[in-house]
């Protein structure tokens, strides 16, 4: 007995030492996320090197062609940092700077890209391709801004607004933090897609619903302080004014002919955000309590993905289940949970499926039902498709 106890104690001691000595194996891999905002520079360089104008379209080629291949190549990593390492990870400023450095590279790409877009040597098709590349970088930049916007430090929240200015989505900080996180996985949330709802039906609902929601939230906050919403302290107006100032300066420097391409890249950028919103909570539903409120948000209310390549490039955004359960956690600390529903692929691949509704429904409706043990009455079903889906899956109406 003494030997057994001693052996167990020695084993526990070894495990404790191993946890204390744990080092993040992806520590320097997080810097690869800074390659993303440099893609417009890479496109420009490849066009100059090869003379092939097709490289102006490098953004969508990499994001929807190469990145999914990286996901397949590098596979999944469901491992989590040990709890003993969490305080150390939270205090390590390396991760914050790996996130913040996205901004200067993003803005350098936008400014240089704006100068290139007005060159007479570029055709309209080339300009559209390059604006698409720039816009997709702005869309991925929202992932960087998302990480900053959840921090308590005012500087990081301000920098989140700066990052979002390129896509005209400065209001995202208000709506995401105070609206989406409060209503996620409920029919009341405009950013939660319902089972049977296509991305194209979801898109106007989430765009306009999010704008109305964040305005009401900010108007209410200011009213409680006895202030009008028409004030520089309105966080929604701040975000939009930063975009107006940014576009105004760029148009003044490079010419008004730049404006259509700035608008195009902004639209493509925020559509990247909204298609990610579409897949992150599709069909998931929080149950109501006896008092009429919703149960606490848990890992089971967000779709998760442990694809290594995508998570490194997106600041662990795909570990969305832990993010919603613990929104204060920084990206390097997010964990995988056994009860979190898992996407069948990384975000880039799932976006391709989302824009082809029959393909999306074929894959994801089955996944939603599997998550709820075949009980469609537990799913967040689109009202217009409720009768059809209930009939298809043989369930009684709620």
Contact 202, 354 (CB under 8 A): no
> Using CA atoms, how far apart are residues 132 and 267, in angstroms rounded to an integer?
10
The pLDDT, as a whole number, for residue 398 is: 43
Q: pLDDT digits over 108-161, tens only?
A: 999 999 999 999 889 999 999 999 999 999 999 988 999 999 988 888 988 999
Residue 300 has pLDDT above 90, yes or no: yes
**Cα dihedral across residues 160, 271, 66, 118: positive or negative:** negative
Domain ranges of the chain: 25-370
Query: Average pLDDT for residues 59-88, to the nearest whole number?
Result: 94
The pLDDT, as a whole number, for residue 124 is: 96
| DSSP, residue by residue, 156-223 | HHHHHHHHHGGGT-TTHHHIIIIIIHHHTTSTT-TTSPPBT--HHHHHHHHHHHHHHHHHHHHHHHHH
User: 288 — phi, psi (to 5°)?
Assistant: -85, 145
The pLDDT, as a whole number, for residue 290 is: 85
> Using CA atoms, how far apart are residues 186 and 170, in angstroms rounded to an integer?
24
Token reading at 307: 């694809």
The pLDDT, as a whole number, for residue 324 is: 95
Residue 3 has pLDDT above 60, yes or no: no
CB-side exposure of 362: number of CA atoms within 13 Å?
Answer: 6
> Using CA atoms, how far apart are residues 332 and 131, in angstroms rounded to an integer?
31
Residue 11 has pLDDT above 70, yes or no: no
Residue 16 has pLDDT above 60, yes or no: no
* CA dist list (Å): 58 to 55, 62, 173, 185: 5, 6, 29, 35
Q: pLDDT band at 167, cuts 50/70/90? A: very high
The pLDDT, as a whole number, for residue 20 is: 63
Count each helix (H run) and each strand (E run) in the chain, helices first.
19, 0
Considering the chain, what is the average pLDDT of its residues? 92
Q: pLDDT digits over 363-398, tens only?
A: 999 999 999 999 999 999 999 888 888 888 765 444
> Using CA atoms, how far apart are residues 273 and 107, in angstroms rounded to an integer?
18
Residue 21 has pLDDT above 90, yes or no: no
Token reading at 152: 């308590």
Contact 105, 140 (CB under 8 A): no
Query: Average pLDDT for residues 298-320, to the nearest whole number?
Result: 95
pTM score of the predicted model: 0.91
In terms of Cα–Cα distance, which of 159, 126, 130 is closest to 145?
159
The pLDDT, as a whole number, for residue 19 is: 60
Q: pLDDT band at 163, cuts 50/70/90? A: very high
Residue 361 has pLDDT above 60, yes or no: yes
Token reading at 156: 């990081």
What percentage of residues in the chain have a pLDDT greater than 90? 85
Query: Average pLDDT for residues 330-336, to the nearest whole number?
Result: 95
The pLDDT, as a whole number, for residue 391 is: 83
Residue 4 has pLDDT above 70, yes or no: no
* Residue whose structure tokens are 């209503």: 183
Q: pLDDT digits over 210-250, tens only?
A: 999 999 999 999 999 999 999 999 999 999 999 999 999 99
Token reading at 267: 């639209």
Token reading at 282: 């599709």
The pLDDT, as a whole number, for residue 162 is: 92
What percentage of residues in the chain have a pLDDT greater than 70? 94
> Using CA atoms, how far apart are residues 244 and 262, in angstroms rounded to an integer?
11
The pLDDT, as a whole number, for residue 396 is: 44
Q: pLDDT band at 17, cuts 50/70/90? A: low
User: 329 — phi, psi (to 5°)?
Assistant: -75, 135
Cross-strand bridge partners of residue 288? 294
Q: Give Dmax (Cα) for the chain.
A: 85
Q: pLDDT digits over 76-108, tens only?
A: 999 999 999 999 999 999 999 999 999 999 999
> Using CA atoms, how far apart are residues 83 and 15, in angstroms rounded to an integer?
12
Residue 5 has pLDDT above 70, yes or no: no
Residue 10 has pLDDT above 80, yes or no: no
CB-side exposure of 260: number of CA atoms within 13 Å?
Answer: 6
């Amino acid at each position: 007995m003494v030997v057994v106890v001693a052996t167990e104690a020695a084993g526990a001691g070894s495990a404790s030492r191993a946890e204390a000595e744990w080092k993040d194996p992806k520590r320097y891999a997080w810097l690869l996320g800074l390659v993303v905002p440099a893609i417009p520079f890479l496109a420009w360089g490849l066009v100059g090197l090869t003379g092939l104008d097709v490289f102006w379209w490098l953004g969508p080629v990499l994001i929807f062609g190469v990145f999914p291949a990286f996901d397949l190549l590098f596979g999944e990593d469901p491992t989590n940092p040990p709890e003993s390492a969490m305080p150390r990870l939270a205090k390590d400023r390396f991760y914050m700077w790996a996130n913040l450095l996205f901004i200067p590279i993003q803005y350098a790409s936008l400014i240089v890209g704006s100068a290139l877009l007005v060159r007479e040597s570029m055709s309209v098709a080339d300009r559209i391709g390059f604006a698409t590349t720039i816009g997709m970088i702005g869309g991925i930049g929202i992932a960087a801004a998302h990480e900053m916007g959840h921090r308590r430090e005012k500087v990081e929240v301000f920098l989140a607004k700066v990052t979002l200015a390129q896509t005209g989505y400065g209001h995202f900080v208000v709506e995401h933090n105070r609206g989406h996180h409060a209503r996620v996985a409920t029919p009341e949330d405009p950013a939660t897609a319902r089972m049977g709802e296509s991305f194209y039906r979801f898109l106007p609902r989430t765009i306009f619903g999010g704008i109305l929601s964040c305005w009401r939230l900010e108007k209410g906050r200011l009213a409680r302080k006895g202030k009008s919403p028409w004030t520089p302290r309105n966080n929604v107006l701040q975000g939009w004014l930063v975009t107006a100032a940014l576009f105004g300066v760029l148009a003044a420097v490079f010419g008004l002919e730049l404006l259509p391409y700035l608008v195009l890249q902004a639209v493509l950028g925020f559509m990247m955000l909204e298609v990610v919103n579409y897949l992150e909570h599709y069909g998931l539903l929080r149950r109501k309590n006896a008092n009429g409120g919703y149960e606490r948000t848990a890992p089971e209310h967000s779709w998760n993905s442990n694809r290594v390549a995508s998570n490194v490039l997106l600041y662990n955004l795909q570990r969305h289940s832990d993010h919603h359960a613990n929104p204060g956690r920084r990206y390097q600390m997010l964990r995988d949970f056994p009860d979190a529903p898992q996407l069948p692929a990384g975000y880039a691949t799932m976006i391709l499926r989302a824009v082809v509704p029959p393909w999306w429904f074929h894959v994801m409706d089955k996944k939603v039902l599997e998550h709820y043990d075949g009980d469609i009455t537990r799913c967040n079903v689109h009202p217009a498709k409720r009768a059809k889906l209930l009939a298809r899956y043989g369930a009684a109406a709620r």
